[in-house]
């Protein structure tokens, strides 16, 4: 238990350090050093890669964590590790072949509004693949109780590398075009470093063999693909839609605003790391009265703390926007709308953790799919009418309806 608490504390500290570095990059360095066009381009590529990442990983990172401990012998565990690394190739290879065959059509569709995207489209599947296998090898480390290293690479390493690259742009060591390609290289290096570290923890013996509990594994994997795709589409899908309707610079304005609003949800991230395992334990033991008390406490505490954070951001929003170029000021209203959506989600406390530990967890996934469809449709309606403010309103409306449901 000491190892778990120790690593949880370290991971929490690392997450906050990474968030701080990300804030410096997003709110100041990207807009000032890179410029709106290439900041937006980089953000669009990374967001698109993040959306397709669950399809490449096909849920193996979560499947590995859930089922690894159920195998009793080292041989069974070794075979399962091999399975989680090799099985995604059954989907990745056909997807790449289909993408290659329809490359011109995909290129035309994604670059019809912003021609600058055309030369960088291939970076999306490349980075998506790097992200997917990074998550799998990160899960490899987690099941061997070495989560801190992978978390450091993910939360701090990638953002620190971006910071150094941005400084390189400032001093003309690399061009803005070179920065985009260098970002892809950073994700490749993150994958390779994590992979070799995982191999040093347990040497792989690759062999493609089907695990004994294949049905359970595949059913769980299906739900993880679904939930992962829903989560990533909600996080980054709006930026992909913005590229289809507006000049790409608007993605930069939108990204700065959403990152500022994201600060409101930071208290819930820290609390959920502690509350999720407690929730699972109470639900398993059918201690519903204690669960009711915990739910009310988390909801009230997050409501108060999150409310103060939101109020602090809203009151000081004009001062925050003095740090970025004047053209970004159009995103101020986005901060208010996205901020409110984060707050609505935050005050619900640990409701998702409760539902996921009951037989009704499939209902949450079903509602999540409906939420994604609703978000996409609302974005397609409001973005042409109101631009980035329309996208923020679509998110606010979708999250509000989901929370009520």
Question: Mean pLDDT over residues 156-178, rounded?
Answer: 94
pLDDT at 40 over 50: yes
Question: Mean pLDDT over residues 172-184, rounded?
Answer: 94
- Please tell me the predicted confidence (pLDDT) of residue 73: 75
Question: Mean pLDDT over residues 158-168, rounded?
Answer: 95
Do residues 211 and 79 make contact, with C-beta atoms less than 8 angstroms apart?
yes
Backbone torsions φ then ψ of 173, nearest 5 degrees:
-75, -30
Structure confidence by residue, pLDDT tens digits, 292-317: 787 787 788 888 888 888 999 999 99
- Please tell me the predicted confidence (pLDDT) of residue 7: 64
Structure confidence by residue, pLDDT tens digits, 377-391: 999 999 999 999 999
Q: Is the pTM of this model over 0.85?
A: yes
Angstrom distances, CA of residue 403 to CA of 125, 166, 267, 368, 396: 33, 38, 19, 11, 11
pLDDT at 281 over 90: no
Average pLDDT of the chain to the nearest whole number: 84
Structure confidence by residue, pLDDT tens digits, 127-138: 999 999 999 888
pLDDT at 11 over 80: no
**H helix or E strand, kind and range, residue 220:** helix 214-245
Angstrom distances, CA of residue 28 to CA of 266, 321, 322, 328: 20, 10, 10, 11
- Please tell me the predicted confidence (pLDDT) of residue 78: 78
| pLDDT band (50, 70, 90) for residue 1 | very low
- Please tell me the predicted confidence (pLDDT) of residue 369: 82
């Amino acid at each position: 238990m000491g190892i778990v608490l120790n690593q949880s504390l370290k991971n929490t500290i690392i997450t906050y350090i990474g968030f701080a570095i990300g804030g410096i990059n997003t709110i100041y360095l990207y807009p000032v050093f890179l410029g709106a066009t290439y900041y937006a381009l980089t953000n669009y590529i990374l967001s698109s890669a993040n959306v397709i990442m669950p399809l490449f990983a096909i849920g193996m990172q979560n499947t590995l964590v859930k089922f690894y401990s159920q195998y009793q012998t080292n041989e069974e565990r070794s075979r399962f590790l091999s399975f989680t690394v090799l099985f995604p190739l059954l989907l990745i290879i056909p997807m790449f072949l289909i993408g290659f065959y329809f490359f011109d059509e995909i290129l035309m569709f994604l670059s019809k509004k912003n021609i600058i995207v055309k030369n960088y489209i291939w970076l999306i599947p490349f980075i998506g693949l790097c992200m997917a296998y990074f998550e799998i090898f990160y899960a490899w480390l987690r099941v061997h109780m070495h989560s801190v290293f992978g978390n450091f690479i993910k939360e701090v390493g990638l953002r620190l590398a971006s910071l150094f690259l941005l400084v390189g742009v400032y001093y003309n060591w690399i061009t803005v075009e070179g920065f985009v390609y260098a970002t892809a290289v950073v994700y490749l290096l993150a994958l390779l470093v994590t992979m070799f570290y995982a191999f040093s923890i347990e040497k792989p013996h690759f062999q493609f063999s089907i695990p004994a509990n294949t049905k359970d594994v595949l059913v769980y994997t299906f739900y993880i693909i679904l939930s992962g795709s829903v989560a990533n589409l909600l996080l980054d899908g709006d930026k992909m839609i913005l590229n289809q309707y507006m000049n790409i610079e608007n993605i930069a304005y939108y990204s700065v605003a959403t990152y500022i609003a994201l600060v409101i949800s930071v208290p819930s991230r820290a609390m959920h790391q502690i509350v999720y395992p407690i929730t699972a334990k109470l639900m398993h033991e059918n201690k519903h009265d204690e669960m009711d008390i915990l739910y009310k406490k988390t909801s009230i505490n997050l409501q108060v703390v999150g409310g103060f954070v939101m109020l602090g951001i809203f009151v000081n929003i004009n001062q925050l926007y003095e740090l970025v170029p004047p053209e970004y000021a159009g995103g101020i209203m986005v901060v208010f709308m996205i901020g409110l959506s984060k707050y609505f989600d935050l005050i619900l406390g640990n409701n998702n953790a409760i539902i996921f530990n009951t037989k009704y967890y499939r209902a949450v996934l079903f509602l999540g799919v409906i939420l994604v469809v609703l978000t996409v449709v609302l974005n397609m309606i409001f973005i042409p009418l109101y631009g980035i403010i329309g996208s923020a309103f679509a998110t606010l409306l979708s999250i509000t309806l989901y929370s009520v449901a």
